[in-house]
Amino acid sequence: MPVAPRALFRLRRCGLAVGVTALCLMLPARAAPAPFEDTMAQRTLACTACHGAQGRAAPDGYYPRIAGKPAGYLYNQLLNFRNGHRTYQLMTQMVEPLSDSYLREIAEYFAALELPYPAHSSVPVSVQELQRGEQLVRHGDTALRIPACEQCHGVALTGMQPSIPGLLGLPRDYLKSQLGAWSSGQRHAHAPDCMATIAQRLSAADAGAVTGWLASRPLPAVTKPAARLTAPLPLECGSAFDASSAAPAGGNRP
Ligand code: HEC
Ligand code: HEC
């Protein structure tokens, strides 16, 4: 998928071609032309060119929202793009030259942004799909060994600190493509990769139903991720580390 012209324009404004745009993220204020201020908002303009103003998602629905997602989750994704566990070449190029600690800073910056979500638009989805989708999210499917999504993503489905993302406010196409990427082995999380196991157990019809239901849900009044897990996870997830314990292996660049 080509970069939107607007995004390219902003990347160019950053003064660098896409391949080296990440450099722009590392430059201190004095190295850039005035009126560049050395704030995270300025340094991450290259990111928001694709991810929408302040990371609130681009209107076309292709570039996911990053604002307000749990910091540990965002950090894990940046590591995953850097080390090839997630595949999107332009993302990989952006983060390739950056250190672990700088990726952590970027993750914390976006996680702390509290921005409104756009008005909810309806999704074409059948009544049967909605029923099946809701069943999977709320109860899972014991016969197929699929745990309820809400057991990990939170009853409000707004995610769980420090590293499980919310599932609302994301376009159906994005949700579908992530489940598809997990089941085809294009996306990996830290091992054991519980989402890969779950995605492989979802049939195409179930993936359609669950993403249809999720994308048609309005956001609750409070969109923040839940503070912490209150019960053990139904499957072990290497990326769902507890904030009080060490972060999972993955970062290796001081
Ligand atoms: C050229 C456009 C582009 C630029 C520039 C870009 N991204 Fe992305 N980013 C994407 C796309 C597309 C995806 C989704 C890829 C996929 O489907 O896995 C993505 C995914 C992500 C994700 C994972 C989101 C999630 O919910 O799992 C994070 C985090 C992220 N980007 C952060 C950044 C940061 C930080 C920067 C700046 C250093 C940046 N991106 C720059 C296009 C871009
Ligand atoms: C055992 C816990 C667990 C269960 C159950 C679970 N998830 Fe997840 N999910 C996770 C974790 C952990 C991540 C973050 C993985 C990573 O770091 O990439 C995640 C990430 C995701 C993402 C990526 C979101 C994004 O912004 O890119 C999607 C989509 C998703 N899950 C959908 C589902 C659906 C649908 C269900 C129910 C059928 C489900 N999950 C059940 C733990 C779980």
Question: Measured on CA atoms in the order 34, 37, 38, 41, is the torsion positive or negative?
Answer: negative
Nearest-ligand number for the alpha carbon of 51: 1
SS3 sequence, 222-240? CCCCECCCCCCCCCCCCCC
Domains of the chain in start order, with CATH, are 38-115 (1.10.760.10), 118-245 (1.10.760.10)
Q: How far is the CA of 96 from the centre of ligand 2 (A)?
A: 25
Ligand 1 pocket member 82 (CB < 6 A): no
Residues 6 or more apart in contact with residue 121 via CB below 8 angstroms: none
Q: Quote the CA–CA distance of 97 and 31 in Å, as a whole number.
A: 17
- Predicted TM-score (pTM) of the model is 0.87
Q: What is the DSSP string of 160-225?
A: BTTTB---SSS-HHHHHHHHHHHHTTS---SSS-HHHHHHHHS-HHHHHHHHHHHHTSPPPS--SP
* Per-residue pLDDT tens digits for 114-167: 888 877 777 899 999 999 999 999 999 999 999 999 999 999 999 999 999 999
- pLDDT band per the 50, 70, 90 thresholds, residue 251: low
Q: How far is the CA of 12 from the centre of ligand 1 (A)?
A: 18
**Hey, which of 91, 117, 186, 211 would you mutate to test ligand 1's pocket, going by the most ligand atoms within 8 Å of its Cβ?**
91
Ligand 1 pocket member 25 (CB < 6 A): yes
Q: How far is CA 50 from the centre of its chain?
A: 14
